[in-house]
């Protein structure tokens, strides 16, 4: 009996020691991998995010897309003459000052978010209604070319998509329909960002070619030849797959081009200095709308914060990001 008690005590002791070891192991913080050490910019991101993200509720009580309040101020829009890869259309550099606060989507609008709109309204996108369908890139003998395909749309964009990927094959008009619906659902003023707001938010107080510096670093964004797992024209990455910029926005560089409100202007001569959208005044061509940030099918130079694109088509390289008046 005494032996049995001793064995029991010994067994209990061993159990206690093992339990202490397990608890100790699980409460010790894991050693971070070398590449997870945060830069100053990433520490800033966390600080901003804790203060400034929100989601508005839709009429059925579900939460809308995550938004980030942008700390407004002044910035220099465009690229300096000596920036590598610069195009004339990125100048002249001009000062823009925002008078009113605004918010931007933390991520590109996703397939799931756009799908909620379509489900609620029965909306049919331009690609689904207008015969030509959605444009997409095909690789032929090492060369990329664009091609419209009648049955391609946001539902079937000729790339693999899930609900957490950015929606593509949506025209500028489709983006307008979505923000109108979201505004009605939430009672808030959603819209596309102006081109100035987009660049200001993408730069996040940086003056370099990319928000992380002047050189392209691997695994910072989803684009062609960007050193990420999506390098070989695999399509979009789930939103937020890469580090966010210092304002807390993900994928401003790459993944999908993002529609902005402005009409096409070939240079910044006469551009507004208050951050408003630049419309047909000053010879704007509103059949073409601005899209910014480059995409999974483009090379790194198009991901520079100052790079300006325009388009008129629903395309599987193009999506959009929200803005909201505060």
Local structure of 34: helix, strand or coil: helix
Q: Which residue number, 248 or 293, has a Cβ lying nearer to Ca ion?
A: 293
Cα 260 to Cα 250: distance, rounded to the nearest angstrom: 16
Residue 256 CB, nearest approach to Ca ion (Å): 5
Contact map string, positions 133 to 162, toward Ca ion, x by CB under 5 A: ------------------------------
Contact map string, positions 241 to 270, toward Ca ion, x by CB under 5 A: ----------x---x---------------
Q: In the numeric block, which tokens belong to residue 4?
A: 């049995």
Q: Which residue number, 199 or 251, has a Cβ lying nearer to Ca ion?
A: 251
**Of the candidates 182, 226, 176, the residue with the CA atom closest to the CA atom of residue 59:** 182
Contact map string, positions 188 to 227, toward Ca ion, x by CB under 5 A: ----------------------------------------
Q: In the numeric block, which tokens belong to residue 221?
A: 């964004």
**Of the candidates 209, 204, 123, 205, the residue with the CA atom closest to the CA atom of residue 167:** 123
Local structure of 297: helix, strand or coil: coil
Question: Which range touches Ca ion (CB under 5 A), out of 79-87, 127-135, 236-244, 293-301?
Answer: 293-301
Question: Is residue 56 within the footprint of Ca ion (CB under 5 A)?
Answer: no
- Residue selected from 293, 297, 309, 314 as contacting Ca ion according to rule CB under 5 A: 293
Question: Which range touches Ca ion (CB under 5 A), out of 4-12, 58-66, 80-88, 291-299?
Answer: 291-299
User: With DSSP H G I counted as helix, E B as strand and the rest as coil, what are the percentages for the chain, rounded to 5?
Assistant: 30, 20, 50
What residues contact 195, with CB distance under 8 A and at least 6 apart?
Answer: 260, 261, 262, 277, 278, 290, 292, 308
Residues lying near Ca ion in the complex (CB under 5 A) are found at 251, 255, 293
């Amino acid at each position: 009996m005494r032996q049995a008690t001793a064995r029991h005590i010994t067994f209990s002791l061993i159990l206690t020691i093992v339990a202490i070891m397990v608890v100790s192991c699980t409460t010790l913080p894991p050693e971070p991998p070398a590449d997870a050490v945060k830069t100053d910019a990433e520490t800033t991101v966390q600080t901003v995010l804790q203060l400034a993200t929100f989601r508005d509720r839709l009429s059925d009580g579900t939460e809308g897309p995550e938004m980030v309040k942008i700390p407004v101020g002044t910035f220099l829009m465009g690229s300096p003459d000596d920036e590598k890869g610069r195009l004339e259309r990125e100048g002249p550099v001009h000062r823009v000052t925002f008078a009113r606060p605004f918010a931007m989507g933390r991520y590109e609008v996703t397939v799931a978010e756009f799908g909620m709109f379509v489900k609620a309204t029965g909306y049919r996108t331009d690609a689904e209604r207008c015969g030509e369908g959605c444009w997409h890139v095909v690789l032929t003998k090492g060369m990329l070319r664009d091609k419209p395909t009648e049955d391609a749309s946001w539902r079937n964009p000729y790339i693999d998509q899930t609900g957490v990927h950015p929606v593509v094959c949506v025209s500028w008009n489709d983006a307008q329909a979505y923000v109108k619906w979201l505004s009605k659902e939430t009672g808030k003023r959603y819209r596309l960002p102006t081109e100035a707001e987009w660049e200001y938010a993408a730069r996040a107080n940086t003056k370099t070619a990319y928000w992380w510096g002047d050189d392209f670093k691997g695994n910072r964004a989803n684009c062609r030849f960007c050193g990420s797992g999506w390098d070989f024209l695999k399509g979009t990455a789930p939103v937020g797959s890469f580090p966010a910029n210092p304002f807390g926005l993900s994928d401003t560089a790459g993944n999908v081009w993002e529609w902005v409100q402005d009409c096409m202007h070939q240079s910044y001569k006469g551009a507004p200095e208050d951050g408003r959208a630049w419309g047909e005044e000053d010879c704007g061509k509103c059949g073409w709308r601005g899209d910014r940030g480059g995409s999974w099918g483009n090379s790194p130079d198009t991901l520079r914060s100052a790079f300006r694109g325009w388009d008129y088509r629903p395309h599987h390289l193009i999506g959009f990001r929200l803005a909201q008046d505060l």
